[in-house]
Structure 1
Amino acid sequence: TLLTPGTVINAPEMAVLATAQCIQVPVYRRLRVAIFSTGDELVSPDEALAPGKLVDSNQYALTVLLAQMGFEPIRLGIVPDNEEALNKAIAGAVATADVVLSTGGVSVGDYDYIEKILGDLGGKVHVSSVAIKPGKPLTVAGFKRGEKNQDSPSLSSDCLYFGLPGNPVSALVCCWRFVVPALRKMSGLAPNAWGPEFVKARCNAELRSPGRRETYIWGKLHLVAGVWEFEPASGSQNSANLINLANTSGLAVLPPVETGILPGEFVEVLKVSH
């Protein structure tokens, strides 16, 4: 055996295949991931801001994250808080992509239609919220499309839908924690390669949590003399404020029963792409 199933074909693996004159091997194609944002308050970065409006950063952040990981992102733009428009957008995305990511519209607001529409379109909602901070309003649903999609024969029979929170930090935390491992698994990676990677790291500052929910604190991971160290981002750890999210390489995880970690103590940290 030269290469086991689940092996990513990089330069060394390609050299092995060429040497063995294996000019054709079965592979998993790149997953197609449709991305759209919901909300009447959103504008694209090239539009002028007005009172009550916000720039849609989620779509661009998720697009870059997925592209860097080798997936094929499909940006579908901003969808207004309108049931008919959302129904059309979700139906089209489910029919043409392997995975759909939406941000916003999954909490308890007056115009949050996502879960109702998923049910109307034949989707089965598996998760409607998670006990984490930030990122509580997370929806996960599955769609069965039959043996083949006639419009896109290369698509698998199933489509996975993730309704992410609208707050930008919450959207990225949920993507790092839940979406990325799912996409890696669907891409055919070996079992020891697709799961989230956690390390024990020593804190160089105090970490605080209100408890009740599993809390994620973003910051930087450093390897110092063979020991991981975690440095939380300075400033407010607010899910609506993404300024101090830049250069994040780890998320410290505080269990619901843990309200604080002192400097010098160790904490579990989720490594994230950077």
Structure 2
Amino acid sequence: MQPKLTIQERLKDLRVERGLTLEQLSAETGISKSALGKYEADDFKDISPFSMVELAKFYGVTTDYLLGLTEQKNHPNTELDALHLGDDAIEVLRTGKFNHRLLSELICHKDFQRFMLDTEIYVDRIADMRVNDMNAVLEAVRQMTLMKNGGEENDLHLRTLEVAQIREDEYFGSLIAGDLKDILRDIRSEHRPDTMTADETSLVATVQGQLQDAMNFEGSVEEKKAKALLATLGIDYDAITMEQFVNLIEVLKLSKHLKTPISQRGKTTMTHGKGKRKRK
């Protein structure tokens, strides 16, 4: 399930949705820019009642929404009857273990109504009669043409009349799937910057790239091993000093898995690229 947004996240989202900077919001609400910035900071723990009320009024939401007591910005006391939901649907929404935020985004998408219309047309067979009538006309013409040409079906005109007939399940299945895919693609794109969204590049791919870079590195065996180890730890090899490099090599010598000259004390000449650079 999607975790509830914090007060800080709600305040920032509302400001960003309206395209306002902290300076502009300060001018509109009379609350100082520094205070507004603190209210949106991750480590901020307190907000004055006055500011809470003023921001709720400005954004047109309830204070309960800002405090995280409800997910409803503008309709905190909506009667269930007004939602036109059956008991089973209400029970699913109340107890269902799914991402409620995602469901809300799906319903609020600009193309959701079209998706529902296409679904209704298919489920309630609204277009069945028209589709069947059209198919019947096409098939009648095809049969008449077939009789005229002596039963030869391998004909471009006959084949065209056949494939032009609509198969409802295939047509509406593709139509509805396309509607839903377009909606989900938009929502997926909007979720890209979210902290709960997985990174586009996997950790494994990143580490593999770093290790490959280390293997292609033009340097001594010691430098390659050091670069490979540091890459797996997310440390920039070029950022370490000569002293740190020497200490790292001493640690690597203790490994039983590095059966190379690096594990033979006193028999390796250690170099480090940074040690050869001229001082500025």
Higher helix proportion: 2
Higher strand proportion: 1
- The structure that has the greater radius of gyration is 2
Q: Give TM-score, length-normalised by structure 1.
A: 0.21
| Relative contact order, higher structure (CA 8 A, sep 6+) | 1
Q: Give TM-score, length-normalised by structure 2.
A: 0.21
